[in-house]
């Protein structure tokens, strides 16, 4: 990786940050910028130059061995860290339908996807860096302690050096930390937050941010202030260690480009969490 992206990104030991005690910005040297890739959208190479981590679909909600292979090649080309984007087996609904599975089946489906991507990664001069659940599995792990712990155990048993990406301050982060797994508190550039720190469901009106300027404003507030303004107008504290831009969003390329530039203008480096 290039020198700008090869230095270690510090992973916080707390799942939340305290609200700023003054008007001064938080001192932030670096942030990770991630995007979901290999989902067949067709814009991966346009986005890749602006991010530091790629979450690669493992075939359960999107993609296949061919797309995994191609996405890894792009990641190497643009010095981007790679991770497994694991999900429920649900291509029909793009992994966004919640499934009521027993813990052992959740453990197995995560492990199976890690095996799929690792077998391909082994053919390249790059290591798997992180794991990020997708869609309904991600949302479920944020609020269900058993599912969160199960996913974390599966990841740790597979490779204890992997970083688990999870919703900032959620059970996904807390349960992973409890078993000693490295974590990254994830925040979203293009999603509206509820007062409890959860994401506004996509089924609700105004759940998504469609304007690039608003997305930039939210990202910089989360990174520099340690807060986010919720759907009700309330400011709540939030820890930002990795920022997600959805690759399947209508404005994904525009958001990636503009957000990356805005972060760099603040003197903050964009590097992967490791």
Tell me if residue 266 falls in helix, strand or coil: coil
Q: Which residue has the tokens 């059970």?
A: 171
How many helices, marked H, and strands, marked E, lie in the chain?
9, 10
Instruction: Tell me the pairing of strands 227-229 and 235-237.
Output: antiparallel
- Please tell me the pTM assigned to this model: 0.90
Predicted pLDDT of residue 161: 98
Axis-axis angle for helices 171-178, 135-143 (nearest 10)? 70
Instruction: Give the residue from 219, 190, 195 showing the smallest Cα distance to 206.
Output: 190
The answer to whether residue 101 scores a pLDDT higher than 80 is yes
pLDDT for 205? 85
Beta bridge partners of 60: none
pLDDT of residue 120: 98
pLDDT at 24: 64
**pLDDT class of 249 with cuts at 50, 70, 90:** confident
Instruction: Report pLDDT digits (tens) over 143-167.
Output: 999 999 999 999 999 999 999 999 9
Q: Which of 4-13, 230-239, 263-272 is the least confident region?
A: 4-13
> Domains in the chain, ordered, with CATH?
3-270 (3.20.20.370)
- Residue-wise pLDDT tens digits, 114-150: 999 999 999 999 999 999 999 999 999 999 999 999 9
Instruction: Give percent of the chain with pLDDT exceeding 90.
Output: 87
Question: What tens digit of pLDDT does each residue of 211-244 get?
Answer: 999 999 999 999 999 999 999 999 999 999 999 9
Question: pLDDT class for 187, splitting at 50, 70, 90?
Answer: very high
- Over residues 14-54, the pLDDT tens digits come to 333 333 333 468 999 999 999 999 999 999 999 999 999 99
| The predicted structure's pLDDT at residue 3 | 38
Distance CA 129, CA 56 (A): 11
């Amino acid at each position: 990786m290039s020198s700008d992206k090869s230095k270690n990104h510090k992973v916080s030991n707390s799942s939340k940050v305290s609200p700023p005690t003054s008007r001064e910005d938080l001192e932030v040297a670096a942030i990770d910028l991630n995007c979901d890739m290999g989902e067949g959208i067709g814009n991966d190479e346009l986005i890749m130059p602006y991010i530091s981590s790629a979450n690669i679909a493992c075939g359960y909600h999107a993609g296949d061995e061919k797309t995994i292979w191609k996405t890894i090649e792009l990641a190497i080309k643009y010095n981007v860290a790679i991770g497994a984007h694991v999900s429920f087996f649900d291509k029909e609904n793009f992994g966004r339908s919640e499934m009521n599975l027993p813990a052992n089946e959740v453990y197995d489906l995560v492990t199976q996807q890690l095996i799929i991507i690792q077998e391909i990664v082994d053919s390249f001069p790059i290591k798997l860096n992180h794991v990020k659940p997708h869609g309904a599995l991600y949302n479920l792990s944020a609020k269900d302690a058993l599912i969160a712990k199960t996913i974390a155990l599966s990841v740790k048993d597979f490779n204890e050096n992997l970083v688990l990406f999870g919703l900032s301050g959620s059970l996904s982060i807390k349960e992973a930390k409890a078993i000693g797994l490295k974590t990254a508190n994830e925040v979203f550039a293009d999603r509206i937050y509820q007062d409890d720190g959860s994401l506004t469901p996509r089924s609700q009106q105004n759940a998504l941010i469609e304007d690039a300027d608003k997305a930039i404003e939210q990202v910089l507030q989360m990174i520099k202030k340690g807060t986010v303004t919720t759907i009700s107008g309330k400011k709540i504290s939030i820890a930002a260690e990795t920022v997600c831009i959805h690759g399947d969003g209508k404005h994904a390329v525009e958001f990636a480009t503009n957000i990356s530039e805005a972060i760099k203008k603040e003197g903050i480096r964009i590097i992967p969490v490791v």
